[in-house]
Structures are given as structure tokens and as C-alpha cells.
Amino acid sequence: MNKPRVLIVSGDKLIQKSLYELICQHGYEAGITHSVKDVMAYLDEKICHVVLADIAGTDDIKTLKTIKEKGYPSEIITMASHGNMEEDFDGLAVDCLIRPVEDKKIISSIEKALSRSPLSESRPSFLEKLLHKEDTFHDLVGQNPALKEIYSIIERISSSKATILLRGESGTGKRMVARAIHKADKKRRDKPFMEISCGALPREIIESELFGHTKGSFTGAINERKGRFELAHGGTVLLDDIDSFSLDLQVKLLRVLQHKEFERVGDHKTMKVDVRFIVSTNQDLEKAVADKKFREDLYYRLNVISINIPPLRNRKDDLTLLISHFMNLYSRENHKKIKSISDDTMKTLMSYDWPGNIRELENIMERAVILDTDGVIENDDLPELLVSNALESFDAKTPGNVTGSISLKDVLREPERLHILRVMKEVGWNKNKAARKLGVNRTTLYNKLKKYKLLDQSK
């Protein structure tokens, strides 16, 4: 966010227009919602420095208090028609303006609010990078080229009925990608999304869980029960850890995938179901097929469209966005105001290889927010083992003896340098191919190779 954003809250179109022009004329970015009730939905999408709210009554005041209590990092200015309303605000607002109010007073109040805003401190807040529309895709966070390619694939397959195979290490976000596919499908997005952890279900009940059962079909089946496939009719089913299916169950699953039909346990009536299937695995299915642990015909049926989700260590250029995302999420959840993250801590997080991927990062950031006491995330808020491993990794990757402090700017450049180097090696140092793969023109790539002193490595 280059300019401070002021959110105008008013149901009066004339007031909206007047305030919008005034705010933009003074160099601020302006947003508009038509009522106080809509403010939280807007703040969930974008970070705002200031909320300028036109108050209509006591219900609006209660809503604004709720917004403040939930920890949104926005300062509030209120406008009201009645002078006696200001006593109801009880420290809620930076200023309580009584209409009619002069333009210079409004701007003065905005400047006052900005001086108090945690988003306006001299240290750039990573929260400001969060939740821009261009930084998210159906709740997926990241702009790494590999992730952008996944976005593109999702858009292209969104209306298809084809089975999708998601591959990736544990914790890389396969479930989030599956949900993104579901949300991108206009036909199914309002229908059920059913996630089934195949490896977590006991062998003796998994068939009943998937297909349902009739009354008396086995000991304990005292009532008829619908299975997950039936409950998900019209929507999407994610079969996580598909490699854990037994061979006999794989045969039954193959039939469902091919013909969209099955029978409940203990029943002979064939049922039809309209479901989009997404399956995921962190295992090598090709090896499982070779070892006769996974059916070859099922493998080919699953592998219609395969999406490989990169580990976090290969997309460190997304770390700042992900850190901001989780910092903001758990700040709100724990009613805390986190203003920033220290340079040393960013160096630590950027140097760590994240074997547990995004799931590990999320857990670490939740822990850091909970333990923080001063609004700035420091290394002391991180697990000691992570800090020591990250520093060892950083030292190992840093040529020579590094003395003195390393700037945050230099730390943030390192993922880009490593990513460019990796792509150049993949294409045999062919600059044209590398530029296309990185999504930049050849001149930009040349300048970056020169900047990061990588030109000599191509010889």
C-alpha cells in the first residue's frame, strides 16, 4: 500500500462523493462502504489506516466498538448530526466530528488518526502487504511464479469434471488448493466441500463413511446412514492421503470415479452421485504402482490433471506475504495488535528451510503472536531450535566471513536471487527460456543477473 487508505462509511451518496474527492485531493487512497455493518467485510479484504464513519444511531456505535474489540488496526473517526452523541463513544474514536464540519477539520482529524495508526510507523508494517486482491487467489496467498501457474491451471479446469491429483509434501497447502478449485467452480462453489482424511479413518469403518450403510448391515449399524459421497452431492470431495486406500477399496473407488455410482454397505440399490473428485498425496504413486501397492488403472484414472504444489523452501519470495497473513489472522483471533516484525527475526524466518512447509509456518506465527508482549515479533518469540537451525543455515549459505549487520532489504532480495539461479540452472542458462519461465522480459532478466552477480556463473 503506497498511500494511507481512508475508508468512508456513509449511506448518503452526496456525503460519499464529497468526502471521496476531499480525501483523494489530499493524496490519500479512499474506499467506500454504504453502512457501518459492511465495514468488517471490507476490512477483511483490505487494510485501512483510518475508518471515517458517518453515524446514524446507537447500533452503529455498537458495531464500531465490535470492530475495535476484534483488533482491526484501523483508527476510527466518527461524524454525527447530534452533538450529544459524542459522550456515547467512550474513547472509541480519535475524533468525534459534529456536522456540519469544515473540510480542513476533517483532514486535520485524518492526520491526527494517521499519527496514531500502527500502520503509519516509520518501520514498514508487513501487515500492509496482506490481503490485497492481487496477492490472493481464492484464499491462496502468494505470487511465486510456480504458484501463479497453479492459479492459471485452476482457472482453466474450474468448470471441468475431471479428477484432479494434488501432489506435494506434507504441509504445502494441498487442502487450500482443493478449496480454491471448489470456489473457482461456479456450478459447485455453493454446494458442499467434503474433506476426507483417508489415512485417519480406521479400516473397519472407512467403507461405511464413504458409501453409507443400511440398518443392520453390520454390528452397531442401528440406523440407516448416508455416506460422505452422498452428502457431497453436487459439490466437491477431497480424498486426502489417497495412497492409504487398501487394494480392495481402490477397486470400489475406481467404479465411483468412472461411473459416479455406488451401493451403500448392506444394500443392493445402486445410487448415482454428482461429485467433483480431488485427491491428494505426499507419496510417490508411481513407485507404489511398481510395488503393486496401488492399482495401475486407478492411478491412470486419478492422474488426468496433476498439480504439483511446491514446498515452501522453493517459494521463499512468498514468505513476507504468508508471514503477514498469519500474523494478521492470529492477531485478530487473540485480540492483539502486532505492529511489525524485527529485521533479525525476518532474517531468521527467511534463512530457515521450513521442512514442515506452510503448516509449520502457520504454527510458528500463531505461537509468536501469542507470546509477544510489545507488539513487535522478535527472535525470542520463536522456538529456540528454529532460530539456531536458521542461523546455521544462513551461515552455511553465506560465502566468507560476514561481519556487521545485514539489512532487511538484503535479506528480502536473497529469495529472488536463489529463485533466478535455480531457474537458470533448470534451463541450462538459456536466457530466453528463463525469462519466459520467470514471466519477465529478457532485459529485466539480464539486469537482475547483473545485479545479483550471476552473469559469470553462466560461463
Per-residue pLDDT tens digits for 404-432: 444 445 555 566 777 787 788 778 788 88
Q: State the chain's mean pLDDT as an integer.
A: 81
Q: Do 3 and 30 touch, CB atoms closer than 8 A? A: no
Task: Tell me the CB-side half-sphere exposure of residue 51, using CA atoms within 13 A.
Answer: 32
Tens of pLDDT, residue by residue over 40-74, are 878 776 778 889 988 877 777 878 887 777 666 78
pLDDT of residue 191: 92
pLDDT of residue 123: 35
pLDDT of 83 above 90:
no
Tens of pLDDT, residue by residue over 195-226, are 988 887 777 678 888 888 888 777 767 788 88
Average pLDDT, integer, range 32-47: 80
Average pLDDT, integer, range 371-381: 89
pLDDT of residue 265: 86
pLDDT of 295 above 90:
yes
List, in order of start, the domains of the chain with CATH numbers: 5-120 (3.40.50.2300), 145-308 (3.40.50.300), 313-455 (1.10.8.60)
Closest CA to 349 of 338, 360, 339: 360
Query: Cβ contacts of residue 362 below 8 Å, gap of 6+?
Result: 326
Cα 182 from Cα 38, distance rounded (Å): 26
Average pLDDT, integer, range 348-377: 91
pLDDT of residue 124: 37
Q: pLDDT > 70: what percent of the chain?
A: 85
Average pLDDT, integer, range 141-150: 86
pLDDT of residue 396: 55
pLDDT of residue 456: 61
Q: b/e for 8-31, b at 16 or more Cβ within 10 A?
A: bbbeeeeebeebbebbeeeebbbb
Cα 252 from Cα 256, distance rounded (Å): 7
Band of pLDDT at residue 239, cut at 50, 70 and 90: very high
Average pLDDT, integer, range 258-263: 89
pLDDT of residue 453: 76
pLDDT of 182 above 90:
yes
Q: pLDDT > 90: what percent of the chain?
A: 24
Cα 27 from Cα 16, distance rounded (Å): 17
Q: Do 80 and 86 touch, CB atoms closer than 8 A? A: yes
Query: Which residues, listed in sequence order, are joined to residue 167 by a DSSP beta bridge?
Result: 281, 308
Band of pLDDT at residue 90, cut at 50, 70 and 90: low
Average pLDDT, integer, range 248-271: 89
pLDDT of 227 above 80:
yes
DSSP letter for 275, please.
-
pLDDT of residue 216: 75
Query: Model pTM?
Result: 0.58
Query: Cβ contacts of residue 62 below 8 Å, gap of 6+?
Result: none
pLDDT of residue 125: 38
Residue scoring higher pLDDT (420 or 91): 420
Residue scoring higher pLDDT (380 or 67): 380
Q: Do 148 and 159 touch, CB atoms closer than 8 A? A: no
pLDDT of 84 above 60:
no
What are the backbone dihedrals phi and psi of residue 237, each rounded to the nearest 5 degrees, phi first?
-120, 125
pLDDT of 120 above 80:
no
pLDDT of residue 387: 83
Q: Do 46 and 132 touch, CB atoms closer than 8 A? A: yes
pLDDT of 135 above 70:
no
Tens of pLDDT, residue by residue over 153-176, are 998 898 888 899 999 999 999 999
Residue scoring higher pLDDT (442 or 341): 341
